[in-house]
Amino acid sequence: MSKEKKDILLYSFSGLLILSLITFTGIKNSDRTVQEIDITIAQEDGNFFTDQMEVMSLMSLDASDFIVGSELSELSPKVLEERIEKNPFIKDAQVYRDLKGVLKVSVEQSKPIARVLINGGEDRYIDTEGRVLPVNAKHTARVPLLETTFDFGWEENLNESTYGNKVFELLKYVESNEFWRAQIAHIIVLEDGDIELLPQVTKQKIALGKPEDLDAKFGRLMVFYKEILPKKGWNTYSLVNLKYDNQIICE
């Protein structure tokens, strides 16, 4: 037999051996059962709106739908992910299996950036994507309050309306800046769409006007804090008006 034919036979045999090993490994893995569940929940600024027990409960349809002890071949990671993500505070879930029979679950939580107080309605949270989330009785988030006496055209997300999108941009602006995030405690939406801000430390009410031109308005507010208050005194004024271009009106 020629060397060329020997090489062909050798490669063919090697290929069949590898294929057999892969098939055998697949069969063995499909026969494995879930020995344990390893759940990791990403923390968002110290806020936990779910826990391992709740994630376990979400994965099971009912008390008889046990995950531990089930065969890996009978479990669909995608189905389990969809069950977990039914919790509105869970932004994303990843489920996968390892070769030791451990079911790995990685959960990413939604991050609230404001708590909405609606006159006559139930409180809600707004997350970093503008989604409207229910208040969780077991967990609370330390975020600014957004108070409004009317519904400005949103049900599931602030971005459903033009004005809601502007309010969301304001919330993101405050959230993204460490100083404003610590300083702004209360955001009030007035009937005409103007915004008032109540600070955490000082006593001045801040008339922001419409939620637009945020860089310019917050720039003037920073001038007020850095240059005017230290000279005039922290409790001299009860109102600072930022509505008008290039003006800081103190009363």
Residue 167: what pLDDT? 95
pTM of the full predicted structure? 0.77
Give burial (CB, 10 Å; 0-12/13-18/19+) of 5. exposed
Q: Give the span between the Cα atoms of 4 and 237, in whole angstroms.
A: 95
Residue 28: what pLDDT? 46
- Domain 112-250 annotated CATH 3.40.640.10: no
Q: Helix axis angle, 77-84 relative to 52-59, nearest 10°?
A: 120
Q: Give the span between the Cα atoms of 70 and 76, in whole angstroms.
A: 11
Output the CA–CA distances (angstroms, integers) from residue 170 to 13, 59, 129, 139, 239, in the order listed. Answer: 67, 36, 13, 25, 20
Question: Which residues of the chain form CATH 3.10.20.310?
Answer: 36-109
* Inter-residue contact 207 to 196 (CB < 8 Å): yes
- Domain 36-109 annotated CATH 3.40.1010.10: no
Residue 233: what pLDDT? 80
> What string of pLDDT tens digits covers the 251 residues of the chain?
554 544 444 444 444 444 444 443 443 444 577 778 888 888 656 666 788 888 888 888 665 556 777 776 777 888 888 989 888 888 899 998 877 778 889 999 888 999 998 876 788 899 999 999 888 766 778 899 999 887 777 888 999 999 999 999 999 999 999 999 999 999 999 999 999 999 988 888 999 999 999 999 999 999 999 999 888 887 788 999 999 988 999 98
Question: Which residues of the chain form CATH 3.40.50.11690?
Answer: 112-250
